[in-house]
Amino acid sequence: MQAQVLEGGFADVPVDASHAFRAVMTAMARPGEIFTISGAQPPAPLSPASGAVLLTLCDPETPLYLAASHDTPKVRDWITFHTGAPFVAAQNAMFAIGAWDDLPLSDFAIGTPEYPDRSATLIVERPTLSNTGATLRGPGIKNQAQLSLPKVQSFQDNAQLFPLGLDFIFTSGDRLAALPRTTKVT
């Protein structure tokens, strides 16, 4: 096994994982707010933020889809060693990671009326994250927020599915923001 597969995980697992978990949950509770997250040094093209999210949310019971942009042997080996998450097709994934244009949105589970929580969460790697662009409204947002999103119509369509739909975590470098399905985007 290559040494780089063994490296890049949390140095102090309980502490780093709890900090990362809090950042992810706070981002979901405050859509559009950008948080810094650290502790992971995954192989490229994974960003440190996406690596920390994977280390925090994935385990052997969480099926993961890798988009073509992120489906490399080094990434697969790193995720397997650090999380044990099984790799699956999009329709069977609980989590997915990749660049926006490489994620087949219509293939992911959006939940069912009986179990809306059985939907996928997409970790979308972005070149940058900023509080500009699309306007966000909804739970967790005082009046409104802004976030640089790709293809606003996709998020408007997703919100129409509520209580079903996809949830999104956006990462760039060591930064992350989230967009749960409850958020209205204009």
Tell me the C-alpha distance between 150 and 124, whole Å.
10
Give 133's DSSP letter: S
- Whether the Cβ atoms of residue 100 and residue 155 lie closer than 8 Å to each other: no
Q: pLDDT category, 4, cuts 50, 70, 90?
A: low
Tell me the C-alpha distance between 163 and 116, whole Å.
6
Please report which residue ranges of the chain form alpha helices under DSSP H.
3-6, 13-29, 48-57, 73-82, 152-160
Domains recognised in the chain with CATH numbers? 3-185 (3.40.50.11310)
Q: What is the pLDDT of residue 2?
A: 62
This prediction's pTM: 0.95
Map residue 14 onto helix, strand or coil: helix
Q: pLDDT category, 128, cuts 50, 70, 90?
A: very high
What pLDDT, in 10s, does the model give residues 79-109? 999 999 999 999 999 999 999 999 999 999 9
Rounded to 5 degrees, φ, ψ at 109 are -65, 135
What pLDDT, in 10s, does the model give residues 137-148? 999 999 999 999
Q: pLDDT category, 11, cuts 50, 70, 90?
A: confident
Is residue 181 predicted with pLDDT exceeding 90? yes
Sheet holding 145-147, edge to edge: 145-147, 134-137, 184-185
Is residue 5 predicted with pLDDT exceeding 70? no
Is residue 1 predicted with pLDDT exceeding 70? no
Nearest to 93 by CA among 72, 114, 119, 112: 119
What pLDDT, in 10s, does the model give residues 37-73? 989 999 999 999 999 999 999 999 999 999 999 999 9
pLDDT > 70: what percent of the chain? 97
Tell me the C-alpha distance between 171 and 148, whole Å.
11
